[in-house]
Amino acid sequence: MHSNSQDFCNRNPNRRIVIIGNGIAGVTCARQIRKMDNSARITIISGETKHFFSRTALMYIYMGHMKYEHTKPYEDFFWEKNRLELKQTWVKKVDFEAKNVIFEDDEPLNYDILVLATGSKNNKYGWPGQELAGVQGLYSKQDLDLMETQTKGIKKAVIVGGGLIGIEMAEMLRSRNVEVTFLVRENSFWDHVLPPEESDMINRHIREHHIDLRLNTELKEILDDGQGRAKAVLTNHGETIPCEFVGLTIGVSPNIDFLIDSTLATKKGILADLYFKTNIPNVFAIGDCVEFHKAPASDRKNIEQVWYTGRMHGETLAHNLCNEPVKYQPGVWFNSAKFFDIEYQTYGWVPPLWDSDFNSFYWEHPEGKIGFRMLFESQSKIIKGVNAFGLRLSHAFFDQVIKERWNADKVIQHLGKANFNAEFYEKVHKDISKRYDLEMGTNVSNPKRNFLKRIMNK
Amino acid sequence: MKNIQIIGLAIFVLGLAIFSIIPFLGSYQLEKEMVADTVKEEHQEILLDILQPMYGKTYFSNFAFVSDYRNYFDQFNGELKEKEAWDEVIWDDYAFALTKASTKSEVKNQPFLFLGISIFASVIGALLYIFPLYRHQPEGIKNDGIYHSSMKSRGVLGIITGTYLILFYIILYWFPEYMTNLVWMVDPISMGLSGNPATQWFLYGLMYTLAILVMGIRMFRKYRGNKYQTLRTASVMFFQISFAFLIPEIMVLLNKPWHDFKNIWPLDYSFFYDYRMEGMLSSGAIGMFMLVWGIILIVIGVPLLTYFYGKRWYCSWVCGCGGLAETLGDPYRQLSDKSLKAWQVERYMVHGVLVLAVVMTAVTIANYFSGFGLLGNATNQLHSFYGFAIGSAFAGVIGTGFYPLMGNRVWCRFGCPLAAYLGIVQRFKSRFRITTNGGQCISCGNCSTYCEMGIDVRWYAQRGQNIVRASCVGCGVCAAVCPRGVLKLENGPEKGRVNDLPIIIGNDSITVKN
Ligand SMILES: Cc1cc2nc3c(=O)[nH]c(=O)nc-3n(C[C@H](O)[C@H](O)[C@H](O)COP(=O)(O)OP(=O)(O)OC[C@H]3O[C@@H](n4cnc5c(N)ncnc54)[C@H](O)[C@@H]3O)c2cc1C
Ligand code: SF4
Ligand code: SF4
């Protein structure tokens, strides 16, 4: 497609590259460009904070595990040393004709190449009362500061939306002994991603942390206390739950409002091809804000809103801006999260439901806090993916195993090699393989006997 | 906080307050016989004479007593010094011994009562506070509120605690004559263990051991469910109580030199000093074993065990300084400086101390074999400089006093010559590393924040690079607090241990060398 790399972007030696957004996508892109292009002038703009920080760590600031400065992955001297200019201000709009970035309170900035890495914003649903004081989502540093003031000294909170940020918010509030009611529309926590057993394990764990988890419950309205503050929520079951704070965590969507009335093609996000090229020459989009015309793979989405993909977008675009462009081609899917004390890792493809073409093996520790699932093709037994709960698994191992399409028996047989738990931990892979043999009628847990049997059968 | 914890905290603070008041109790009265009993033969005549005005006089504070004593003593020495009669000057310091002998107090009369309401009350109070911690919470490390805590984030409470510790160390090292009551208080225990009266060092050893035990129990609560943390904490508790506390006292009981069999030169910097060597050489088979064992640890034990397990085998499983840092110091681990600058300072300092220790020891040994000839004076000066600057000021005052200010491993990181030696082995010839888990890092910073050695773990983790650092003591806390399961301490083949051009897996478009 872009065989002529000259067409791809401006490649003049002193080109000025402007990146809007200093999140993982924008910053990774800038860092990698600098490694390959010593002469380009690179400016990173963000209104949120001057320096790059880890958005994923916002919760830990609130919980007192860290301070804001600890969430900065690079020391402040790093930027000047690598000649990455930082500008903290909000972009009002972009004049794509004149190639100018226009600010609310500063002179316009001219660019040769513009990288849009503007991330996401909180979804809002249109609930009555969602603009009241004490009601908010959590995405930015500003949201966190607001949450700090809005939750000072409160006793009761309601969180709406059973996703990853919702459960983080619940954990944050519990760390300060706030009573939390957690409204989840679905039958079970995060059940559009997790299979029933895993989802149920997390339901139990949420309740173990003294959270009032209400499944199958939707928000109808947030009630005003007469002074513009939230005093309670009303659910679809007609119940009124008093509270002083309402967390709305019903997902995020690309943060592109300031770009909408322009010639830039957008849908939910900024439309781009798999080289991150938008409809306007020399304008690219990466990270949470990009929407691919076509998903990068059959098991991937057009909009990817995770840290890791933001990083990969940044790396790949930097490569394309400095070399022969390549198509963005993410490898085996992986992700992770932590639900209170239970860590979650996933590799490959494990949907919440599957049809008879696939078979699943699930093992759970008797104490109910460690779980392992493997999904594989029914006929060929080729592995599709795994979920791990309370169990650390090696990324390298599963990347290889899934790429090389290993047989499920072989995966279980070698599961010990995938163990990434700390030393002296219970070796659960033995239990897992025994259970696997029991269910599948195989004999992988005892490869030695297997070997003897083979010899004797000969 | 539960009521029982509040009560515990109150008892702890009260016990500490009583402990702090005890030195000011009672009166002091010197008698002729005391001087005769305490002072070396060659100084007896002089001291008996110059201290004459003090006999039978009651002093109502140790300040008054010590001040008078110093007056007479310094007057005598001062005159000699003026005359440059260096040989006649009395260099021994009898202040502590004479003050101790002169002490008359209820503490001395009823040591167990005072021990009970001070040190043991504090221990019980602390345990009452610790046992209910995380009681009704599921297993998992909770660092909640650390940066909201004045005590743990260099707030007023932290600064007060640091100041208290620093003062305690200054008195312990340089003005022990003001804490004779406290020493009397533990006298019966010392008599029971070794048959010898207590010194300030016995008091210190007892408190040190109790601190490790009590705060070790806190570690069990805090890191509940984490087997690595539990085992290594149990290990430092065991080594402290047996090797550092009981066995040395038993040695003394058996008329052998006080000896800590797990302490290794150059942390044990006086190992080759002439009095130690003579002590060992004149103590028969056990003494010989002390000497040979000590040398085996230095030349074989350290490199071999560090090759197999990394320096953690010592620093966070065996060592006494490490033991205190990992227990009493654990609440402060996040205060270590992670900046690149701190790392640069660290490398110069810790290796500088190692060089100093090696030079000092070389001079000492040369001096020993040359029969105290030429180098005698230089050796003494080196010893007193090292003992003051490194042994006391750095390892003690700064090493522990600065826990609440600069984190719990200030000494281990910037000053310990043995850590430097172990670190060199770990960096260049070891199977130990912290492996990172592919692309799973979210750069959150928990690992770096809670690394007591100030290693910016995240810097490696987020680029998929194994952590192979001289300073890593293998405490395992970075791995324990990582919310994404990215870090694993392990011993493995040397091949592939250091990956300078790491690749993060997950992106098939390109291979990014970080
Ligand atoms: C609380 C929370 C927890 C999360 N945890 C995880 C996790 O555990 N794992 C995971 O994979 N993902 C997680 N995510 C998602 C992940 O953080 C995002 O996918 C990632 O940060 C997106 O990176 P980005 O670079 O695309 O955008 P962002 O990080 O959002 O950066 C965009 C920046 O651009 C700035 N900007 C936007 N518009 C303008 C403008 N007009 N002018 C100036 N500046 C502008 C924004 O203020 C922002 O600073 C989490 C997200 C949140 C909110
Ligand atoms: S790197 Fe990890 S294991 Fe090593 S000292 Fe730091 S926290 Fe401990
Ligand atoms: S704690 Fe884990 S996820 Fe966070 S920065 Fe460190 S290695 Fe990465």
Domains and their CATH numbers in chain B: 27-104 (no CATH), 432-512 (3.30.70.20)
Number of helices and strands (H, E) in chain A? 12, 25
Mean pLDDT of chain B: 95
Give me the pLDDT at residue B462, please. Answer: 96
Domains and their CATH numbers in chain A: 4-121+253-322 (3.50.50.60), 135-250 (3.50.50.60), 334-457 (3.30.390.30)
What is the tens place of the pLDDT at every residue in B402-430? 999 999 999 999 999 999 999 999 999 99
Give me the pLDDT at residue B500, please. Answer: 72
Of A208, A334, A425, the CB nearest to B506: A334
Give me the pLDDT at residue B499, please. Answer: 80
Give me the pLDDT at residue A200, please. Answer: 98
What is the tens place of the pLDDT at every residue in B189-246? 999 999 999 999 999 999 999 999 999 999 999 999 999 999 999 999 999 999 999 9
Whether B138 sits inside 8 A of A175 (CB atoms) is no
Chain A: residue whose CA lies nearest to B512: A315
Which ligand 2 atom lies nearest to the CA of residue B474? 3
What is the tens place of the pLDDT at every residue in A260-298? 999 999 999 999 999 999 999 999 999 999 999 999 999
Mutate to test the interface with B, among A1, A76, A336, A400 (most CBs of B within 10 A): A336
Of B226, B458, B484, the CB nearest to A73: B458
Give me the pLDDT at residue A452, please. Answer: 59
Question: Quick check: A327 contacting B, CB < 8 Å?
Answer: yes
Which ligand 1 atom lies nearest to the CA of residue A314? 25
Which ligand 2 atom lies nearest to the CA of residue B477? 7
Please name the residue that has the structure tokens 């002179």. Answer: A107
Of B149, B226, B446, the CB nearest to A422: B226
Would the pLDDT of A195 be above 90?
yes
Atom 6 (ligand 2) nearest CA? B451
CA distance B494 to chain A (A): 18
Would the pLDDT of B149 be above 60?
yes
Q: Which residues from chain B sit within 8 angstroms of residue A340, using beta carbons?
A: 138, 140
Residues with CB under 6 A from ligand 1: A 20-26, 45-48, 55-56, 58, 90-91, 117-120, 138-140, 165, 168, 255, 258, 287-288, 305-308, 310, 337; B 442
Strand segments (E) across A153-272: 156-160, 179-183, 212-214, 219-224, 230-235, 240-242, 245-248, 252-254, 270-272
CA distance A112 to chain B (A): 25
Structural contact between residues A270 and A135, judged by C-beta atoms closer than 8 angstroms: no
CA distance B415 to chain A (A): 25
Give me the pLDDT at residue B441, please. Answer: 97
Look at chain A and count its residues: 458
What is the tens place of the pLDDT at every residue in B356-370? 999 999 999 888 887
Mutation probe of ligand 2 site: the residue of B143, B457, B481, B489 with most atoms within 8 A of C-beta: B457
Mean pLDDT along residues B433-446? 96
Q: Which amino acid is present at B78?
A: G
Query: Which strands sit side by side in the sheet containing A219-224, from one edge to the other?
Result: A219-224, A230-235, A240-242
Give A87's DSSP letter.
Answer: E
What is the tens place of the pLDDT at every residue in A45-99? 999 999 999 999 999 999 999 999 999 999 999 999 999 999 999 999 999 999 9
d(CA A197, CA B443): 30
Q: Which residues of A231-259 are buried (b: 16+ CB within 10 A; e: fewer)?
A: bbbbbeeeeebebbbbbbbbbbbbbbebb
Model pTM score: 0.96
CA distance B299 to chain A (A): 28
What is the tens place of the pLDDT at every residue in A306-338? 999 999 999 999 999 999 999 999 999 999 999
* Residue B352, CB-side half-sphere exposure with 13 Å CA sphere: 12
Give A13's DSSP letter.
Answer: T
Cα of A8 vs its chain's centroid, Å: 29
3-state secondary structure at position B343? helix
What is the tens place of the pLDDT at every residue in A16-28? 999 999 999 999 9
Q: Which residues from chain A sit within 8 angstroms of residue B339, using beta carbons?
A: 75
First to last CA, chain A: 56
Mutation probe of ligand 3 site: the residue of B447, B459, B467, B489 with most atoms within 8 A of C-beta: B447
Give me the pLDDT at residue B366, please. Answer: 87
Mean pLDDT along residues B370-383? 77
Q: Which of A408, A333, A344 is nearest to A372 (CA)?
A: A344
Would the pLDDT of A395 be above 60?
yes
Q: Which amino acid is present at B148?
A: H
Mean pLDDT along residues B30-45? 93
Give me the pLDDT at residue A1, please. Answer: 46
**Which residues does residue A407 pair with via DSSP β-bridges, in sequence order?**
A382
d(CA A88, CA B434): 36
d(CA A212, CA A158): 9
Q: How confident is the model at residue B186 (pLDDT cuts 50, 70, 90)?
A: very high
Mutate to test the interface with A, among B135, B151, B443 (most CBs of A within 10 A): B443
d(CA A265, CA A256): 11
C-alpha distances (whole Å) from B386 to each of A447, B356, B395 are 60, 8, 11
What is the tens place of the pLDDT at every residue in A399-412? 999 999 999 999 99
B470 lines ligand 2 (CB under 6 A): no
Q: Which contiguous run of DSSP H or E holds residue B71? A: helix B62-82
Mean pLDDT along residues A424-441? 95
| A:B CB pairs within 8 Å | 162
B455 lines ligand 3 (CB under 6 A): no
Please name the residue that has the structure tokens 């033995």. Answer: A430
d(CA A101, CA A92): 8
Residue A405 CB neighbour total at 10 angstroms = 13
B445 lines ligand 3 (CB under 6 A): yes
Percentage of chain B lying above the pLDDT 70 cut? 98
Interface of A with B in 250-289 (CB under 8 A): none
Mean pLDDT of chain A: 95
Strand A283-285 to strand A113-116: parallel, antiparallel, or no bridges (unpaired)? parallel
Please name the residue that has the structure tokens 């957690």. Answer: A182
Chain B: residue whose CA lies nearest to A52: B443
Question: Quick check: B480 contacting A, CB < 8 Å?
Answer: yes
Helix axis angle, B62-82 relative to B95-102, nearest 10°?
150
Which structure tokens are listed for A291?
A: 């929407």
CA of A53 to the centre of ligand 1 (A): 10
Number of helices and strands (H, E) in chain B? 27, 5
Mutate to test the interface with B, among A22, A31, A35, A60 (most CBs of B within 10 A): A60
ipTM over 0.85: yes
Mean pLDDT along residues A170-180? 98
Mean pLDDT along residues B40-48? 91
Give me the pLDDT at residue B372, please. Answer: 62
Which ligand 1 atom lies nearest to the CA of residue A139? 53
Cα of B246 vs its chain's centroid, Å: 17
Closest ligand by atom to B482 CA:
3
Give A422's DSSP letter.
Answer: P
B485 lines ligand 3 (CB under 6 A): no
